[in-house]
Structure 1
């Protein structure tokens, strides 16, 4: 089994058949369990999230000398497995870690994996803090031990609609393409409701299978009824597929907006100059004025990350690191590693750090007004924040150049 493991924790508890009441590891270490897609279809972003976990652990252990909780000093360790982007494999691995006595879990990437794994940790009385699943189903089925850094999918489009309303010339029509998976469908439904509420016409609302290899028929419909903005609530590989086939079929719109994909190095490598002017979401930027105790500022987090890791920095690294910081802040507030007090302290979190102002809803997802996405756009190969205006580093390129003009 492919495994990234720094410490195996809780085996004595598991052998004794006792569910842990506290996430205390051996030798004064706090161990975070979980699975991450290191291979498979979600690996591009999964590895980004994992680097964020590793970055936080490295900083706390080496720069802070550990963390003081209730008068006791602890270092941190990760116990992460490769779930290969497979929900069934992830569920098996998480159940095994529950049986081993792990109390604190970090999330995988993708709502299709977070959903079954958080059900396991919830049923076992453990805690999960994650930045990889935004489906409404994670937060609307009565769970109270899973927390997400992002707002639930249906609440993620408020800042996007605000940007659409500010663009000149005015956005009058939008079409939406989404994949039929637990995250993308909820996000598309939320986007449609907010777009129509803003008085913008939705021309087409097109569902794709969760796994898709060709969208040329869909793009024919887009060319026949061309919107000002094409919104794709799709994951990384599907976003690349859509963009490539838009280029090959000369399907042009004034703005291509894809919620996942354009943030990654793989997207830039796949599309080259064609990636310019594509708009996407980012839940963090090193240019944002965020700061706090851990890492200092957003800019300092970026500097520390680049000094210690080679993988290109995206917001996923920051959100992964923030998951661990949330655990530490909650445990410090609670003064203990006992699971129930830490859960209660997570629910009550209200603090500022390098990632932003972190506060959860009563259902466990990120407060939309505090943790909703920035809008970013590749301009001349660089990622620029284009909305909201108070955080912007550049003005939006709109209307976008045609594909031929970007060649």
Structure 2
């Protein structure tokens, strides 16, 4: 059907059954889209559609689908004067990084995709980038911020997230200004590439501002009981608790903090609080939790991409999904839009030429200004800092999109 990204129902049903069997461990499940006709541009998207990271995968899929549907409704991507429709091939790697690498290779070698979106998160994006680099396939990572992803000297990898310190430094500056008495910082980090990397950046940011990191604990992926680490944090009487992980991790952490009556004047969690699902799950316990992300619907950018402005993008997302977009969905959409702009500028699907257009890109989009640095990581954004107030996210930085003032929790 024109204007949509189709999914093969029969394949989806059979693979949903396979997901319950050991056979899936060898061959990742393929959701969707065989090329149905000539004149189609195929984008590969390996995602953790099942497993612990499935909530994040859903968000990425929504963002990709919205972009593809919008492009197809407008007739497709203009490639040297010829309009070509978009199809997206989704592969479920079940929240398992080695399978993400296998999925990326399958998409390139068997599904014959033209371009690739990275798997979710810094760890899987870094692992899979080796595959796309080897085959010379331009790849955009829409959820990878850690510099370790981009320090490999690769030419075909680009990312829409600025480095982790662009989140921790503004957060630390705000806390120092608002509460100069905050000196004792406790950090609890998921032992995974992005959550650990941003926790380490937080440690640097805090120490640079004269704070004392009294606890730095790591927890393993899939940890369900944080009582030991939380007991250490409670005993340290921190002024600032900084916890990292993904949405399921942080909802669980917040619940166990409440059970142990652990509080602090400042509580920061990255990256769950940007999601409405976190606010809904945490309820009143989410109040005053601070965080940062790479985009917020309060932004007011006027771009040259297919969505045009932030307001137009938010309107389109609401019409499609009946909710407001967050940074994960918006980043997926802008990743598609950047591919579209590079392809149209190149006037060809030649991978090397599209890669060169991405490398030279300097454009304004609904996501904000996009310019990739020498490693392929975006260098042009100023990420928003926000806090949950009254059951919603309120931007407290930067000034142009500020919605309210930063508030302290318990004294």
Query: Is TM more than 0.5 here?
Result: yes
* Residues 1:158 and 2:185 aligned together: no
Equivalent of 1:266, from 263, 277, 300? 277
Query: Does residue 348 of the first structure (1) align with residue 360 of the second (2)?
Result: yes
- Residue pairs, 1:42-191, within 5 angstroms: 42-62=53-73, 64-100=74-110, 101-153=112-164, 155-168=166-179, 170-191=181-202
Q: Does 1:304 align with 2:281?
A: no
Kindly state the Cα deviation for residue 183 of structure 1 after the two structures are TM-superposed: 1.5
SS at match of 1:257: strand
Secondary structure in 2 aligned to 1:157?
helix
Number of residue pairs aligned between Structure 1 and Structure 2: 382
Give the match for residue 259 of structure 2. 248
Q: CA deviation at 1:199?
A: 2.4
Question: Partner of 1:323 in structure 2?
Answer: 335
Moved more, 210-219 or 349-358: 210-219
* 1:363 to partner: Cα distance: 0.6
| Alpha-carbon displacement from aligned partner over 1:337-385 (angstroms, at most 9, x marks no partner) | 2111111111111111100011111111121xx3242112221111111
- Give the aligned partner of residue 18 of structure 2: none
CA distance in 1, matches of 2:268, 2:334: 26
1:392 lines up with 2:402 in the alignment: yes
Cα RMSD, aligned residues only? 1.9
Q: Per the alignment, do residues 105 and 37 of structure 1 end up closer, same or farther by CA in structure 2, a change over 3 Å counting?
A: same
**What 5-or-longer segments of structure 2 have no aligned partner?**
1-14, 16-28
Could you list the per-position Cα deviations for residues 291-328 of structure 1 after superposition, in whole angstroms to 9, with x for gaps in the alignment? 21321221211111110124652211110001011111
Deviations 1:41-64 (A, max 9, x none): 0111111011000011111111x3
* Distance in 1 (alpha carbons) for counterparts of 2:341 and 2:226: 45
CA-CA distance at 1:203 after TM superposition: 2.1
Matched, 1:7 2:8: no
Matched, 1:377 2:387: yes
Counterparts of 2:289 and 2:102, CA distance in 1: 38
Residue 200 of structure 1 deviates from its aligned partner by 2.5
| CA pair 401-27 structure 1, distance change in 2 beyond 3 A | farther
2:203 matches 1:192: yes
C-alpha distance in 1 between matches for 2:32 and 2:311: 29
Contact residue 8 and residue 79 of structure 1 kept, 8 A: no
In the other structure, the counterpart of 1:17 is none
Aligned partners of 1:265, 1:44: CA distance in 2, in Å? Answer: 12
Deviates more, 1:184-193 or 1:152-161: 152-161
CA-CA distance at 1:258 after TM superposition:
0.7
Q: CA deviation at 1:143?
A: 1.4
Q: Supply the distance in 2 between the matched residues of 1:156 and 1:168 (Cα, whole angstroms).
A: 18
Tell me the SS of whatever aligns to 2:140.
strand
In the alignment, the residues of structure 2 paired with residue 212 and residue 218 of structure 1 have an alpha-carbon distance, to the nearest angstrom, of 11
